[in-house]
Amino acid sequence: MELPLLVALREDGSVEPAVNPALQNQDLLVLFRKMLLLRALDEKAIKLQRSGRIGFYVPCTGQEAMEIGSGFALQEGDWIFPSYRDHGVALLRGYPLASLVGQLFGNASDAMKGRQMPNHWCDRSINLVSVSSPVATQLPQAVGAAYAAKLRGEKVAAIAYFGDGGSSTGAFHVAMNFAGVYRTPTVFFCSNNQYAISLPVSRQTASDSIARKADAYGFEGVRVDGNDVLAVTKVTRDALARAREGGGPTLIEAVTYRMGPHSTSDDPTRYRSEEEIAGWAKRDPVRRFTEYLRKAGVVDGVEAAKWAEEAREEVLRAVKECEGAPPVPPESLVEDVYAEMPWHLIEQRKWLPHAEE
Q: Which of 87, 242, 262, 288 is catalytic?
A: 262
Using H for helix, E for strand and C for coil, what is the string for 286-346?
Answer: HHHHHHHHHHCCCCCHHHHHHHHHHHHHHHHHHHHHHHCCCCCCHHHHHCCCCCCCCHHHH
Q: How many CB atoms lie within 10 A of CB 344?
A: 9
Distance CA 19, CA 334 (A): 52
Three-state secondary-structure class, residue 72: helix
Amino acid occupying residue 30: V
H helices present in 153-284, as ranges: 170-182, 229-244, 274-281
Amino acid occupying residue 309: E
Distance CA 58, CA 105 (A): 14
Residue 262 appears among annotated catalytic residues? yes
Residue 223 appears among annotated catalytic residues? no
128: phi then psi, degrees, rounded to nearest 5:
-95, 105
Residue 354 appears among annotated catalytic residues? no
Contacts of 166 (CB under 8 A, 6+ apart): 83, 135, 136, 139, 172, 190, 196
Cα R_g (the chain), whole angstroms: 21
Distance CA 62, CA 172 (A): 24
DSSP letters spanning 101-149: HHHHHTSTT-TTTT-S-TT---BGGGTBPPP-SSTTTHHHHHHHHHHHH
Q: Which of 115, 271, 287, 317 is catalytic?
A: 271
Distance CA 72, CA 69 (A): 5
∠ CA 153-160-290 to the nearest 5 degrees? 115
Q: Which of 85, 93, 223, 258 is catalytic?
A: 258
As annotated, the active-site residues are: 258, 262, 271
